């Protein structure tokens, strides 16, 4: 039976396979059908051929109608000959019908044999699986199912306990973190307030109490006296160096508590200037300091036309004199020389705040 189930063969088509479904497909194929019915088709084609002209027909009625009109049919024997030929065709047809029946019987025999083999195989399977072997296997499967159910219940119980414990732990951790965050935030807020208050208090105290008697910026400008040395430095060293030195030297002559200008933050260039109203914070454009530098430029110009010309009267008439050349350099550098006056003023301010920063 094992060999029969492994190989399926069709002798008519010379086809062999070990897969049953492929063999069943072959039996339904056109090739197999044509092989089985080839003889029958030939018998029909031969029996429906005209005996006079050998022309073939698919139907007897068509053949009979043709014979009546066939040009090769002798007219004198039309009726008799047609009747005899029709009878002969019937006999031939019966012959081929018998052969066809034999072919059908052979095919049916093979099919029945296969069906019987399948039935025997199914019976063998039923005997094995419905017998004692099947009972033992069912018992084993039942035991395995029960064990799996018990194991699943244990795992579910363990997972439930684990989740409950994990949830409790998370709640405790969240409470600890929340408490710590509150403490940290409170400490930061307290420290920030203390630092801010301390800084504000120190700066306000320094400006409004320690430096309450400081002179105004206008008084400071009025106190500056331009000398010939200052003018010569302007002509020789240039606008930035001369004005920086002039401002710093005049501020150093004043006590820190009396100075009209202080810097609390060099990095941010935070500057406070004392005017008639009190201490004011300088804006980002440094408007007040630029006004101070413009005023010093005006003072230098006045001094050049005043004290320098008085000291060197020939500076304007003697073009070959050293003083004439020096006079021209002073006048040229008094307004920044070749540089951009705004950019030069920024450099002077940065140099100045290094000297006026508050010592904390």
Q: Does pTM top 0.85 for this prediction?
A: no
Q: Is 360 helix (H, G, I), strand (E, B) or coil?
A: coil
- Token look-up 């409950």 returns 164
Alpha-carbon 292 to chain mean position: 57
Distance, CA of 24 to CA of 256 (rounded, Å): 116
Which segments of the chain are extended strands (E)? 8-10, 15-17, 261-265, 270-275, 278-281
The answer to whether the CB of 280 falls within 8 A of the CB of 271 is no
Tell me how far apart the alpha carbons of residues 360 and 270 are, in angstroms, rounded to a whole number: 14
The token pair at 41 is 């088709």
Q: How far is CA 109 from the centre of its chain?
A: 71
Whether the CB-CB separation of 356 and 259 falls below 8 Å is answered with: yes
Token pair, residue 306, equals: 């005043």
Please report, in tens digits, the pLDDT of each residue of the chain (360 residues total): 444 456 888 887 888 888 888 888 888 887 777 777 764 455 444 456 787 787 777 777 887 788 778 877 775 344 444 445 544 544 444 444 454 455 455 545 544 554 454 455 555 545 544 444 445 656 666 777 777 677 777 777 777 777 787 788 888 888 888 777 666 666 655 555 544 444 454 888 999 888 999 999 999 999 999 999 999 999 999 999 999 999 999 999 999 999 999 999 999 999 999 998 899 999 989 999 999 999 999 999 999 999 999 999 999 999 999 999 999 999 999 998 888 999 999 999 999 999 999 887
**5: three-class secondary structure by DSSP:** helix
């Amino acid at each position: 039976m094992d060999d029969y189930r492994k190989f399926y063969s069709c002798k008519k088509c010379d086809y062999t396979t070990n897969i049953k479904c492929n063999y069943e497909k072959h039996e339904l194929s056109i090739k197999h059908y044509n092989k089985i019915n080839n003889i029958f088709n030939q018998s029909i084609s031969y029996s429906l051929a005209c005996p006079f002209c050998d022309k073939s027909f698919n139907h007897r009625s068509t053949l009979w109608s043709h014979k009546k009109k066939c040009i090769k049919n002798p007219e004198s024997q039309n009726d008799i000959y047609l009747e005899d030929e029709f009878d002969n065709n019937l006999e031939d047809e019966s012959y081929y019908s018998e052969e066809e029946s034999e072919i059908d019987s052979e095919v049916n025999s093979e099919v029945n044999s296969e069906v019987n083999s399948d039935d025997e195989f199914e019976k063998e399977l039923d005997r094995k699986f419905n017998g004692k072997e099947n009972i033992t296997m069912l018992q084993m499967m039942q035991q395995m199912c029960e064990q799996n159910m018990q194991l699943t219940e244990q795992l579910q119980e363990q997972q439930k306990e684990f989740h409950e414990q994990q949830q409790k732990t998370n709640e405790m951790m969240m409470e600890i973190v929340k408490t710590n965050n509150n403490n940290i935030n409170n400490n930061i807020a307290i420290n920030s307030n203390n630092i801010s208050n301390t800084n504000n208090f120190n700066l306000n105290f320094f400006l409004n109490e320690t430096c309450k008697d400081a002179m105004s910026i206008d008084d400071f400008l009025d106190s500056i006296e331009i000398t010939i040395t200052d003018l010569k430095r302007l002509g020789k060293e240039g606008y930035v160096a001369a004005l920086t030195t002039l401002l710093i030297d005049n501020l150093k002559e004043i006590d820190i508590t009396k100075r009209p200008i202080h810097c609390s933050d060099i990095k941010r260039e935070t500057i406070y200037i004392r005017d008639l109203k009190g201490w004011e914070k300088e804006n980002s454009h440094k408007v007040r300091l630029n006004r101070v530098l413009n005023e010093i430029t005006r003072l230098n110009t006045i001094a050049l036309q005043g004290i320098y010309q008085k000291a060197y009267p020939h500076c304007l008439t003697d073009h070959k004199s050293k003083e004439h050349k020096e006079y021209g350099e002073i006048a040229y550098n008094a307004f920044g020389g070749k540089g951009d006056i705004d950019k030069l003023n920024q450099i002077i301010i940065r140099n100045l705040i290094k000297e006026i920063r508050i010592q904390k």
